[in-house]
């Protein structure tokens, strides 16, 4: 017949592995903002003005981050429509 006992060393090894996984999650949660802050500082000190001119229209395009909003399109102002009374 099968024994249904669990060895204490098995429980201890399982506990150590769970603790290790939780420790890795904790370290990732603590150090991710610090790494991001370091990368932001590094980007500010090493940033170049990345511009490119379109060959046909001679407009200057700027390279932007994916998080920056696109510039507002310049639209000519429309004249107000005046209704005529009948």
Among candidate residues 29, 30, 47, 50, the one with its CA nearest the CA of residue 39? 47
- 56-71 pLDDT, tens digit per residue, is 766 766 666 777 777 7
The pLDDT tens digits of the residues spanning 9-29 come to 889 999 999 999 999 999 999
Model confidence, pTM: 0.45
For residue 31, pLDDT over 60 is answered with yes
């Amino acid at each position: 017949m099968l024994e249904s006992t669990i060895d204490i060393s098995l429980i201890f090894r399982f506990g150590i592995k769970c603790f290790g996984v939780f420790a890795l999650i904790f370290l990732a949660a603590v150090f991710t903002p610090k790494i991001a802050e370091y990368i932001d500082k590094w980007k500010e000190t090493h940033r170049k003005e990345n511009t490119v001119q379109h060959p046909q229209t001679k407009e200057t395009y700027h390279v932007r981050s994916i998080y920056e909003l696109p510039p507002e399109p310049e639209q000519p102002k429309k004249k107000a429509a005046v209704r005529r009374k009948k």
